[in-house]
Homo-oligomer: A and B are copies of this chain.
């Protein structure tokens, strides 16, 4: 298998390392900066460096576009123009709607790994960066099922946990769990630093302040793009936070101990639920379904399960010899999820058989 990585920073470099070591793929890298490419080559994140996008993409089975979000529409279009009919093209951008709306091609699947590190740059790339990490995929109804399955399997090989989601829901969710935390961290440090008279020292900060503000002032080049590309959803979240804060200020001013306690208790419970939602437990069930071999089926099944929070640990497609139908095998983690997956598949109109391990 040959993989092209366009942009070999922290994410692209880690994709290269994982693809080479865990998927035994040949990795071709391209990027705008010569020095970064040389570092990627020296670190073993790519097998070779291509002089341009066209050369990198030629004969690739999968292409990962890893660039700031505002550059992705052009980069992905360029990759698709150069890629063959059997190449899946994806990206690693933090927002998805702008890009998915701009690209009308059955070979494209929007992607977003929920992984990162405090320190960007290919020199911090790691083969295990995606271990256990959620990796959102945003297929559309016309996305090629075969290409989607290839990408899904590749991400599982990387150690990630891909799940399908529609682009709009993705952007709304990410506004709440990623972009908003960055906004609040920025506001917190700005306020703590400015809320001091000229003749006073800056306040001493403790470990919790450091944690809460770790993402403050993240790379401006990257984040200005993210803020703009998801600005409606983020502004909506900011408005909602303002409303919640106004309520808290009221409770404080009226010394409403009961309201503060209830709010604090529910925050603890909400955090527990949110963190557990990211965990995967129980055994893995293998499930086989017969599906007509037409476009959109794979995306339809993946989106239905993704929407219900069911994690597809892995998937495989096997077309029938006449290519008019095929079987799709899914591995579902967690006993409850397996039961739900079976129901959902039956509701979609496909017969599902559970294969005992």
Given A169-B200, A224-B260, A260-B227, verify A206-B178 contact (CB < 8 Å): yes
A320 at the interface (CB under 8 A from B): no
Q: Mark A219-254, 1 if CB is under 8 A from B, else 0.
A: 010011001100110110111111011101100110
State in angstroms the CA–CA spacing of A260 and B157 once bound together.
Answer: 38
A294 at the interface (CB under 8 A from B): no
- A133/B206 in contact, CB under 8 A: yes
- B203/A277 in contact, CB under 8 A: yes
CB distance from A119 to the nearest CB of B (A): 13
Q: Pick the contact of A208 from B173, B178, B244 — CB < 8 Å? A: B178
Q: Mark A260-273, 1 if CB is under 8 A from B, else 0.
A: 11011111111101
Q: Pick the contact of A274 from B115, B174, B203 — CB < 8 Å? A: B203
Interface size of A as a range: 35 or more
- B208/A268 in contact, CB under 8 A: no
- A235/B264 in contact, CB under 8 A: no
- A205/B275 in contact, CB under 8 A: yes
A213 at the interface (CB under 8 A from B): yes
- B235/A252 in contact, CB under 8 A: yes
List the B side residues contacting A187 at CB < 8 Å.
241, 244-245, 248, 267
Binding site for B on A (CB under 8 A): 114-116, 133-134, 136, 163, 169, 172-174, 176-178, 180-196, 199-218, 220, 223-224, 227-228, 231-232, 234-235, 237-242, 244-246, 248-249, 252-253, 255, 257, 260-261, 263-271, 273-275, 277-278, 307-309
